Each structure stands twice: as structure tokens, then as C-alpha cells.
Structure 1
Amino acid sequence: MDDRGAAEGGGTRAQAIQAAGPGRSRSPRRGGRGARAFLCARVQESRRAGMTKSAARRPVLSLRELNRAMLARQLLLGRANIGVVPAIERLAALQAQWSPSPYIALWSRLVDFRREKLWSAIERHDVIRARLMRGTLHLVSARDFYAYAVATQDLQRGAWNRLQIGNGVDPKKVAALAIAFARKPRPKEEVLEHVQARIGGALGGPFSWLVWRFVSAHADLVTAPPGGHWEYGGTDAPYVAASHWIARGERPPEEDALETLVWRCLAAFGPATLADIAQFAGQVPPRVRPTLERLAPKLRTFSDQEGRLLYDLPRAVRPGADVPAPVRFLPRYDELLISYKHRDRVIAPAHRRAVYTKNAIVEAVFTVDGFAAGTWGLVRTKGEAILRVAPFARLPPRERAAVEAEGRELLSFLAPDATMMGVRFA
């Protein structure tokens, strides 16, 4: 299965050779390379023919229809009157690399959201902060944590395993030691020292952070407060074993975990391609493909205007292209900006260099008519709070006024103590 056709094309190269029969797998040219090229061309031609017929039977969704579906799933067509935990589950996960990011993300999506609502959920252990998708910090519900941890373990554990197991380190012993020690929140340096003192010199490597990733991934260590607080800008929050932090739940079988991840991804970001789902998960497409194939009979399929195969939940909302979309401000690293391989439904190609920087920062954006229309940032000087807005192109007066009005509301959330506020356009 690829982006344009799942379980619709041919099989493996070996199957193609067998299907060709004796004497049919040879090219008129001599030599292995010629035969391989001939076979590849035949297989690709067969796949293209199959995909063309199948794609012709699938409904085609326009770019604006995909955009409106995305906005609806992401609670950006209208603020939702739901709690923090169900909202995070609806959104699949919230990026938490930048501490204020999940707070701003929820403010733009929920009715009457206040900072203390999210912080309270973190303190109650209803929301968990951990390295999950793409190996980066996320906030997820306690109910979803173990499924995401197992579904992403190939990324979380794989690279570190090759380094440590090659030195004779037993991951199960490492996990047991770390879990027993991190029954309560502890600095990661203390956890590492405890484990290394009992494992010996075998546990090590050129970089301490590599060793830490190995230990934390196998022990399911999650961050504890003050990690996740709006004003906490550090990266050294204390860690605690999830088994001692989360009241209910356990690691599910990998097959079930991957199904949960795919289901959550489609609910939050669908309709989506295989490549989109893999991008969200931080996995290579072949790892996600078998799960998607198992779920395919339960899913609806569409094509985009480029002919790519899209999967979606059968009863998911897909608004029309003409549904109005209000101005919204999204924070740095908003999951919406990262979770698609094909990002046209979020931002036009011409504007991406202004958002996705060379040093891996994903800038904060505001949307107009559902699409990214510029970047923004907060400037604080003493009692003053200024929202600097940099549109990608000149905004018509009505849209400019809408951006300014929403920007002033955002300022009241970002800087409630400011004595002077203003929105300035670049």
C-alpha cells in the first residue's frame, strides 16, 4: 500500500516473477539489470492500471473540503464546550515542546478555556506529558498513554536498543530498576545514577541523553510537575514511572496499540493518507501499513485532487467547502502544522519557509479562511503586551479587522496582567 492505493496494486517482486511464469521474466535485453528493469516496469504498469480503476470509483475531495474536514476535527470551525481531557482525546495529542503551546492550542479550540483547567488535569494525572510521537514531548490523556507508548516504541526503543544491547545490557533489568526507583518523581540524573550503579559500565554511550532515552523508553517514564506548567521553560522536569503515576491501564498488545493510534489519528486529522498517518506517528509507512490494511474494511476511502488514497472514519464529519472558517491563532509546534505529510490543506507551499525553519522550529501561525495566513509572536516590555502579526500577503480590510479582534482576545489570555495591549501588523 502506498499513498495512492492500498492493497490495490501488485504484490512483491518475487510474486511478480512467479506470476510471469517460466521464461516470461526475462527482458529482451541480456543481463540481470535489464531483467529487473523490465519486471519493475511491468509491475508498476500493473499497479498504475489497478490504482486508476480503483481511484475512479472513489469520491474526490477538493483541497477546501479537506481543509474544512481538518478544521472541524481540530475544533477550529467553532470553539467546543467540552472538558480538557475529552478535547485532548478528540485532538489525538497536543505538542508540548514549548510549554505555553498546549495552553494556546486549547484556548483557540475550547469555550472559556483557562490555564488552570489544563494544569489541574496534569496535577490530577488525567493528562500525561511524555515523549511519544516523533520522539517529542506531547500531552495525551492518561487513558491513551499506554497505547501511544506501545505504538511508538519502535522509534522510542529501537535506536537506543542497538547501542545498549550490543554492550550486553538487558532492557528488562534496566526497566525494572528504573520503575522501582522512580515510584515518585525524581530528577533524571538520579534515575540514571541509580540504574548505572547497578548495571555497571556496560550501560553507557557517547552521549548521556542517548542513555537516558534508552532507560526512559523501556521504563515508560513520564514527566511530573512542574513539567507541563505554562511558565516552566526547562527540560529537566522530574520523571516518574507511568505504572506508579497512572491509576488505571497497562501496555496493550502492539497490534491493538497501533489500531488505537490509527483510529485516533483519523478522528483528529482525517481524511488522511498512509503517509500522513505515518508522519503523525513518527513511523515509517511500512510499520503502519499492516494496521491500516486490517482496519480498511471498517473505513471509508476517498481520493484527493492529486489521486492520493485517503482513509477516514465512516461517520466522521466532513463539512462542505463553503462552510465559513473564523480567524484562529495557533501556537508554535501546533500538532496541526506537523502531523501531515501532505500539508497543502494547512499551508500553501509558497509560505512554508516562513513557518518551518532550518533549526527545526515550527513558528506560530494565524489562519484566515482556514489556511495559514501569517506568523505571530508576543512581545512583552514591562507592563506592555504587543502581538506582532506578520501576514504572508496583504489582508483585505475585513480580514485584517478579524485578525486584530481575535488577536486582542488572545492578548487578554496571554498577558492578563498587562496594563497596555496592542496588535501590530508587520
Structure 2
Amino acid sequence: MTVLGTRALNRATLARQLLLDRADIPVLDAVAHLGGLQAQEPQEPFTGLWSRLRAFDPAALDSLLTGRNVVRTHLMRRTVHLVTADDVLAWRARHDAMLRQRVLGTYRRELDGTDLAELAAAGRAVMADGEPRSMTELARALADRWPAPGPRALGEMLVAALIPMAQLPPRGLWRTRAGVRNVPLSSWLGREIDPPAPDGSDPAGQALVRRYLAAFGPASSSDLRAWCGLAGLPASVAAIRGELVTFRDEQGRELLDLPDAPRPDPDTPAPVRFLPAFDNAILGYHDRGRIIDAPHRGLSVAGARVVLVDGRTAATWTTKADTVTITPLRDFTRAEHTAVTEEAQNLASFLSDNNSDRVQIKPPTFGV
């Protein structure tokens, strides 16, 4: 079986994630290809798409949100994701059990003895008037009936798990600060969520496997599970295994992939790219070594914005007062310094609506 080294996996990841060459495709197609973008920080998807698309216009994403073509909702790993309307309707039922279990994992003591079916029905009854509500408002509406869990546990279970919700604009619009207002997903989109297959098959799970590999492969089953948070996909992998190809990584782990997906030459040049907090290219894997060196793995869970140099995490970045500040994790060569500066200037211009291209590069920080 062919062994793929770390550099080969790195280049495959960059190609699938649209980070090797910026793509000339519509924003909706990019969001679909990526299987959504993690979006609990509302402005981060704009940087993620800017780094992946040629001539990205934030107004295009705004239009998709207000036009109900993409939505912000709890999905993979119980985190807020920006996903297409078609995908969330196709995938949401497949995530129901995982979402409930993840909320219970945090609030098991508070919700002990709570009839979740009864709670869900009561929550839907409150939301039936079509009025958008915050998580706290919904929980308070039911607090007299369920006083013991407290508003935080009630609200999390209702909004993140029991009632599929959409977070309404202006939350998530470009350069907009707004609180979370929720409405039931099906009422916002005007379509019902796809139900599970009546024959016990799992077409949604099989589609998830294919879509994951298209955007993240070659990858292991544990990588797939780390991305979506679902434990019950071995049967889906087995069902489509005959249409997949397999490899091994340098540790001997089996990697699955679509046969015609891009796997560039490991020596393919990789441009500098600035990634937002909690980017797909990092959080989409259990083994994040294809992007981040072991001493810096903590950055992936800390929400650090990172800079890729030659395809690997080589710096972190922040922005304040229209200045992009870069903190290297290692020394840059002269050519790398120039390339990072140029891309940072482009990013500063994008984030400031062309009002600034100011960049600051700090001395390297080692051992993060």
C-alpha cells in the first residue's frame, strides 16, 4: 500500500482546502465544498474565504446569509458552523443524537431526570409564534416548568440540540456586531429537515464521508470523526469502501480517499496563507501534524489565527487599529519575510476596506 508522507498530506490538504491556489468559484460553492466553515466567531469565515477565493467580496456572503442560502447553526462537534441551506437540511437529523450527548456531557447533572422529548415539545410550542429569541429568552420562557436545570443548561439543550435553529442576520454579517437571535431552521428556510431513511440505511452518513474526503482527504476514520463529531460512521465508511482508495501514513494508519481527488506532488510550492481562528484546515483532523508541528499543537485548540509558510504553521497573527501584527514561531528567511509581509498587507487592506496596509512583524516566539 502506498505510504504518503507528511509533506504529501500537507499538499493534499492545501489543495482540497483551496489554499494551494485561490479558487475562482462562487462563494456558495466554496462553502459547500468545504462542508461549511466553523463560525462561532462571526467575522472569521470572511478571512477564511478571502484566503481561499479570488476577488472575494464580503457582500456576496452577506447576500447568501440574508437570502437564506447559507445559515449559521450548531452542527459539527456542537459548534456553530456556516453551512449551505441544502447541507444543513440534509445533515441535521444525522447529528441529532451527537448534539444531545454533547450537551449532556456538559450539563448531565443539571439535566438529570429531565424528559428531553417533553422539553423539546415545549420549546417548539414557544417558538411557534415565529418570534426570534435568544437562548436565554427561550430558557426563561420555560423556567417555571423546569426550574432545576437553570437557564444555561436549558437554553443550551434547546438551542444547540433539541430544536434545529438558525442564527438570524445581522449576526454574522460583514463588520456587524449583533447578538444571537434564533428561529427554527425549517421555518427560516421554508423547508423541512430531511428525515432519516425509513429502511435503516444511512445515505446522509455516506454523503458525509464522501464530502469530507473531497475537502479533507486523504484522511483516517478518526480524522473524519474529529471533524463531524459523529461516532456512528463506520457502517457508512464500510458501505462505500469499494469506491474509495486507501493509503498509509508514516505511522502506518490507514487513510481513505476518493480516487480522482487531487493529491499534488509534495514539492508543489505553497503560498503564504493567513487562516482565521478555528479554521477547517486545522480542526478537520484528529492528527493535525500535517499542518502544525508538535510543539505548537496547542494553537489549534486555543483559537489562534495562524500563518502558513510553505504549508505549515509558522506564525500567529492578530489585527488591531487596521494593523496586522505577526508573531513568528521560527525565524523567517529573507524570501519568507517578504512573502509574509506582502500577504499581510493584502489582508490588512481587505480587513480595513482598503484603508490600511499596515503590517508589524514581531521577533520570533519559540516553544509555543
User: Normalization by structure 1: what TM-score?
Assistant: 0.77
In structure 2, the residue matched to 1:415 is 352
Deviations 1:249-308 (A, max 9, x none): 522316222222222211111111011000001234xx2222211121121111111110
CA pair 206-143 structure 1, distance change in 2 beyond 3 A: same
Tell me which amino acid in the other structure corresponds to 2:169: P
In structure 2, the residue matched to 1:398 is 335
Tell me which amino acid in the other structure corresponds to 2:54: V
CA pair 174-256 structure 1, distance change in 2 beyond 3 A: farther
Higher-Rg member (1/2):
1
- 1:193 shift after superposition: 4.0
Tell me which amino acid in the other structure corresponds to 2:121: K
In structure 1, the residue matched to 2:261 is 316
Deviations 1:31-69 (A, max 9, x none): xxxxxxxxxxxxxxxxxxxxxxxxxxx221121111111
CA RMSD after TM alignment: 2.2
1:115 corresponds to which of 46, 58, 61:
58
Q: SS in structure 2 opposite 1:81?
A: coil
In structure 2, the residue matched to 1:379 is 320
Is 2:277 the counterpart of 1:332? yes
CA pair 318-184 structure 1, distance change in 2 beyond 3 A: farther
Verify the 8 A CA contact 2:14 2:311 in the aligned structure 1: yes
Is 2:242 the counterpart of 1:297? yes
Verify the 8 A CA contact 2:291 2:312 in the aligned structure 1: yes
2:7 corresponds to which of 32, 39, 64:
64
Tell me which amino acid in the other structure corresponds to 1:272: A
- 1:231 shift after superposition: 3.2
Tell me which amino acid in the other structure corresponds to 1:98: E
Matches of 2:128 and 2:70, distance apart in 1: 22
- 1:237 shift after superposition: 1.3
Q: Percent identity?
A: 35
Q: How many residues of Structure 1 are paired with residues of Structure 2 in the alignment? A: 353
In structure 1, stretches of 5+ residues that fail to align are 1-57
Matches of 1:102 and 1:130, distance apart in 2: 14
Is 2:294 the counterpart of 1:346? no
In structure 1, the residue matched to 2:164 is 220
- 1:173 shift after superposition: 2.0
- 1:210 shift after superposition: 1.8
- 1:232 shift after superposition: 4.1
Matches of 2:115 and 2:195, distance apart in 1: 27
- 1:218 shift after superposition: 2.1
- 1:190 shift after superposition: 3.6
2:174 corresponds to which of 194, 213, 230:
230
1:174 corresponds to which of 107, 122, 132:
122
Tell me which amino acid in the other structure corresponds to 2:122: V
User: Normalization by structure 2: what TM-score?
Assistant: 0.89
CA pair 387-90 structure 1, distance change in 2 beyond 3 A: same
- 1:233 shift after superposition: 4.7
Verify the 8 A CA contact 2:348 2:356 in the aligned structure 1: no
Is 2:211 the counterpart of 1:264? yes
In structure 2, the residue matched to 1:280 is 227
In structure 1, the residue matched to 2:303 is 362
Matches of 1:62 and 1:249, distance apart in 2: 44
- 1:425 shift after superposition: 3.3
Matches of 1:146 and 1:189, distance apart in 2: 25
Q: List structure 1 runs of 4+ shifted beyond 4 angstroms.
A: 159-165
- 1:168 shift after superposition: 3.8
In structure 1, the residue matched to 2:86 is 143
In structure 2, stretches of 5+ residues that fail to align are 364-368
Is 2:42 the counterpart of 1:95? no
Deviations 1:70-91 (A, max 9, x none): 1111001111111111101111
Q: SS in structure 1 opposite 2:186?
A: helix
